[in-house]
């Protein structure tokens, strides 16, 4: 086997509470994460050296890219004297709060594990992934989960009932460090009840979950487009709407596909990209190997 192609899902935050500061200066969080059926496609090929391509994407293909960091961490931690050529076909918008970069890193780790027969467990891959970024362990696990610490302490949850998401990405994006700096300055009037949200998920009730779908970072975002996009989702019949992660993407939760597609269509004038997706219980998977 010399080449694998891996699909890795993006994520949405169903709720996000900022709980404090860790010793390393990162904010601690309590949040609900959901993998969705919007995928990065990552090709990993055996090589003696390293290379990275991100065709048709503004993302820099350099050593600061999460895909490159993941490969370096994999070889460092396994001790394998090898390399790889990586091609990332972006589908997830950047600076969206949807963990596209973390999905890329997760895809590389899964791809290298298969390509070189390393037989690392999911737990071992997550330990390597955490060296790359706090969202990478969830991106490896996928599904529905509660995340604590800086995002790396994961509690798998029951899959969501059948539902649909309409996702709208505004023009431009949000820097995660900048979003947290604004939060530190402005705070938030929101206080999501994560325990109640978890109970609703475990009960399989979208209507019970909806009132608890809040994001403490959204208030500090202060962008009129966020509020306008949420209004579009709500008018189309969303059970709940919110910003995901540190922004800037906004989504609505819908019980029916037709309503989600209508919301996405209505959001197009205010968005650079729109998507309709479903929750997925899977993390990254190798879809072809040669």
Top CATH class, 3-157+280-289: alpha beta
| 3-157+280-289 and 164-277: identical CATH topology | no
- Among the listed residues 3, 11, 56, 64, the single catalytic one is 11
* 135 flagged as catalytic: yes
pLDDT tens-digit series, residues 118-160: 999 999 999 999 999 999 999 999 999 999 999 999 999 999 9
Rounded percentage of the chain residues whose pLDDT exceeds 90: 92
Q: What is the pLDDT of residue 176?
A: 87
Residue 210: the pLDDT is 98
Look at the pTM and tell me if it is higher than 0.85: yes
Is 69 one of the annotated active-site residues of the chain? no
CATH class in words for 164-277:
alpha beta
pLDDT of the residue at 150: 94
> Mean pLDDT throughout 34-55?
97
- Where does the pLDDT of residue 87 fall: very low under 50, low under 70, confident under 90, or very high at 90 and above? very high
**Cis peptide bond upstream of 248, omega within 30:** yes
Give the rounded percent of residues in the chain with a pLDDT score beyond 70: 100
Cβ of 155: how many Cβ atoms within 10 Å?
11
Model confidence band, residue 172 (pLDDT cutoffs 50, 70, 90): confident
**Three-state secondary structure string covering 55-78:** CCCCCCCCCCCHHHHHHHHHHHHH
Task: Indicate the domain borders of the chain.
Answer: 3-157+280-289, 164-277
Q: What is the mean pLDDT of residues 200-222?
A: 95
pLDDT for 23 equals 84
**Tokens 């990275």 correspond to what residue?**
52
Report which of residues 26 and 17 the model is more confident about: 17
* Candidate list 30, 90, 104, 135, residue with the active-site label: 135
With beta carbons less than 8 A apart as the criterion, state whether 41 and 89 touch.
Answer: yes
CA distance 246 to 218: 7
CA–CA separation, 71 and 226 (whole Å): 35
- 26 — pLDDT class (breaks 50, 70, 90): confident
CA 129 → CA 115, 123, 247, distances in Å?
17, 10, 22
Residue with tokens 């404090």: 20
Task: Identify whether the C-beta of residue 66 lies closer than 8 Å to the C-beta of residue 184.
Answer: no
Segment 264-275 mean pLDDT: 97
Beta strands 250-254; 164-169: pairing state: antiparallel
> Which token pair is 17?
């509470």
pLDDT at 94: 94
Q: How confident is the model at residue 237 (pLDDT cuts 50, 70, 90)?
A: very high
> 91: buried, middle or exposed (CB in 10 Å: 19+, 13-18, 0-12)?
middle
| pLDDT value at 222 more than 90 | no
């Amino acid at each position: 086997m010399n080449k694998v192609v891996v699909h890795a899902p993006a994520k949405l935050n169903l709720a996000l509470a900022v709980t404090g500061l860790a010793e390393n200066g990162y904010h601690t969080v309590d949040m609900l994460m959901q993998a969705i059926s919007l995928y990065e496609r990552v090709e990993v090929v055996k090589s003696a050296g390293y290379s990275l391509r991100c065709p048709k994407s503004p993302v820099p293909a350099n050593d600061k890219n999460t895909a490159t960091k993941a490969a370096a961490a994999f070889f460092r931690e396994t001790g394998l004297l090898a390399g790889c050529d990586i091609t990332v076909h972006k589908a997830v918008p950047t600076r969206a709060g949807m963990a596209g970069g973390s999905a890329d890193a997760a895809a590389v780790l899964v791809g290298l594990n298969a390509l070189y027969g390393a037989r690392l467990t999911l737990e071992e891959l997550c330990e390597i992934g955490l060296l790359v970024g706090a969202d990478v362990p969830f991106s490896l696990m996928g599904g529905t989960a509660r995340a604590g610490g800086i995002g790396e302490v994961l509690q798998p949850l029951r899959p969501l009932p059948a539902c649909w998401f309409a996702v709208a990405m505004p023009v431009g994006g949000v820097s995660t460090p900048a979003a947290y700096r604004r939060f530190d300055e402005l705070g938030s009037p929101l206080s999501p009840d994560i325990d109640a949200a978890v109970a609703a998920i475990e009960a399989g009730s979208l209507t019970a979950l909806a009132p608890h779908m809040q994001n403490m970072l959204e208030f500090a975002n202060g962008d009129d487009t966020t509020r306008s996009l949420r209004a579009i989702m709500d008018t189309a019949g969303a059970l709940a709407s919110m910003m995901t992660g540190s922004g800037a993407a906004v989504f609505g939760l819908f019980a029916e596909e037709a309503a989600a597609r209508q919301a996405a269509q209505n959001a197009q004038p205010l968005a650079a990209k729109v998507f309709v997706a479903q929750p997925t219980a899977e993390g990254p998977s190798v879809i072809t190997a040669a």
